[in-house]
Amino acid sequence: MTQEIFFSRLKQQYSQHLPFVVYNSPDSHGTIKALLQERSELFTTEDFTESGFVFAPFDDHNEVILIPENASEKLFFEQVEFSDSEENIILAPEKTSEEDKQKHINLVNKAVKALQAGEMDKVVLSRQEELTLTEEDPLMLFLDLLKNYPTAFVYCWYHPNVGLWLGATPETLLKIEGNRFKTMALAGTQKYEGTTDVEWGEKEKQEQQFVTDSILENFKISSAENIQFTAPFTTRAGNLLHLRTDISGNLISHTDTQLGVSSEIVKNIITALHPTPAVCGLPKQKAKQFILQEENYDREFYTGFLGELNLQQVTQRTRSRRNVENLAYRAVKKETSLFVNLRCMKIEGGKAILFIGGGITKDSVPEDEWQETVNKAGTMKKVILK
């Protein structure tokens, strides 16, 4: 399918107020995918047994929305090549309000006091920022995000009852292929200044270690074995650098390695992981309570998760002389590939509402934490304030 036909189908879907999602996964090798739901119903999932695209909120008491595979048309479009514009470090203009700054600093101060009193080890605090859009076509914004962040999970998601969300997230929540799974502990932030060969402060090392330890601890009590993890390394996300540990393992019981693991296991692992201390804190329930009470706004789908759930993947064999007789062979298997909803925005009435946050520990400096949210907002401002 050509780019033109692909996007005109999406445009038509949006103008008819029908749900859709269009996305590029970092490991999809340039294939942009879309699911276009046939009717405007709002489907939800509770047990993660269905196949489709999930869109889950931060607060797990709220509904997880599903665009079901069997109620949608699937579209693919092969990008000719990845853009290398991630190499151009053009920083977005820093437009912020003094009032927003004070509010965030007060919030961080309150958290630091609670952390120093030993009430929690870590809490992730966030804020919203509203901007007027000059480009009102969300699909153009999606294309801009795609060009700027080829190694992120870039998406545009829409449901008439919920709204329109866009994002470019660097964080994998969970990937399941057969009985293998992968996740990552991502935390600690500094500005990218032309090199990934950087030093990390103790505060950043500690906040990232909290995430790794907590994920590993959770896997001890869920359906996982043979857990392996890397040493923390520096990874780039647009104009930012983060510390990251890759974690992988096997799921203990599975129904069929070809078609995928049992849905009960998918639910157990998601529940054990979400929300990780990369977006919530430690201990989980205390941090969550602090966030819900003190942030003073509704995160909605920011720091929730999204992506393919038990989605049928068809892998076509590559053409070569040796396997000509197998050209008709297509391997069909189900995969789950979920990402944490970071560096995202909601589009509403000609405005973009950005969501940005950062991990707070007892050693956090409130002014620096504010600046970190300003730097993170740059990911989205780069495409909005062109």
13 lies in the site for ligand ISC, by CB under 6 A: no
Alpha-helix residue ranges (DSSP H) falling in the chain: 3-15, 98-116, 138-148, 202-221, 263-273, 284-294, 366-384
Is residue 288 part of the contact set for ligand ISC (CB under 6 A)? no
Q: How far apart are CA 137 and CA 15, in angstroms?
A: 11
Instruction: Please report how close the Cβ of residue 39 comes to ligand ISC at its closest, in angstroms.
Output: 34
Judged by CB under 6 A, does residue 382 bind ligand ISC? no
Size, binding site for ligand ISC by CB under 6 A: 17
Cβ at position 118, least distance to ligand ISC in Å: 21
Return the residue of 152, 166, 342, 383 that touches ligand ISC, per CB under 6 A.
342
Angle, CA 243 vertex, CA 240 and CA 248 arms, to 5°? 125
Tell me whether residue 287 or residue 356 sits nearer to ligand ISC (CB atom).
356
Contacts with ligand ISC, 236-255, as mask; x by CB under 6 A: ------x-------------
- Closest approach of Cβ 305 to ligand ISC, in Å? 13
Q: Percentage helix, strand, coil, to 5, in the chain? A: 30, 35, 35
**Closest CB to ligand ISC among 260 and 358?**
358
Question: Residue 373 CB, nearest distance to ligand ISC (Å)?
Answer: 7
Q: Give the tokens for residue 292.
A: 């819900």
State the minimum distance, in angstroms, from the CB of residue 149 to ligand ISC: 13
Q: Does residue 166 belong to the site contacting ligand ISC (CB under 6 A)? A: no
Closer CB to ligand ISC, 125 or 266, in the complex: 125
Per CB under 6 A, the segment of 33-41, 186-194, 215-223, 267-275 that binds ligand ISC is 186-194
Per CB under 6 A, does 104 bind ligand ISC?
no
> Counting contacts by CB under 6 A, is residue 269 touching ligand ISC?
no
- Backbone φ and ψ for 322, nearest 5 degrees, come out as -65, -30
Angle between helix axes 138-148 and 366-384 (nearest 10 degrees) is: 110
Q: Who contacts 321 (Cβ-Cβ below 8 Å, separation ≥6)?
A: none
Spatial CA neighbour of 317 closest among 306, 297, 331? 331
CA distances from 160 to 14, 15, 341 (A): 9, 11, 19
Helix and strand counts by DSSP (H, E) for the chain? 7, 19
- Is residue 124 a contact residue for ligand ISC (CB under 6 A)? yes
Binding of ligand ISC at residue 188 (CB under 6 A)? yes
Note whether 183 binds ligand ISC by CB under 6 A. no
* 112 touching ligand ISC, by CB under 6 A: no
The token duo for 170 is 């660097």
Q: Does 282 bind ligand ISC (CB under 6 A)?
A: no
Nearest CB to ligand ISC, comparing residues 37 and 206: 206
**Single residue of 189, 212, 310, 375 touching ligand ISC by CB under 6 A:** 189
- Binding segment for ligand ISC (CB under 6 A), chosen from 38-46, 84-92, 97-105, 353-361, is 353-361
22-61 mask for ligand ISC (x: CB under 6 A)?
----------------------------------------
Task: Kindly state the tokens that stand for 45.
Answer: 């999932």
**DSSP class per residue in 225-276:** EEEEEPPPEEEEETTEEEEEEEEEEEES--SBTTTB--HHHHHHHHHHHSSP
Nearer to ligand ISC, 34 or 125 (CB): 125
Instruction: Determine, following the binding rule CB under 6 A, whether residue 168 of this chain makes contact with ligand ISC.
Output: no
Single out the residue of 343, 346, 381, 382 in contact with ligand ISC (rule: CB under 6 A): 343
Long-range pairs for 7-10: beta carbons < 8 A, 24 or more residues apart: 7/139, 7/143, 9/34, 9/36, 9/75, 10/34, 10/36, 10/75, 10/139
User: In a 10 Å sphere around its CB, with 0-12 CB exposed, 13-18 middle and 19+ buried, how is residue 85 labelled?
Assistant: middle
In the complex, which residues of this chain contact ligand ISC (CB under 6 A)? 124, 126, 171, 186-189, 242, 278-279, 342-343, 356-359, 376
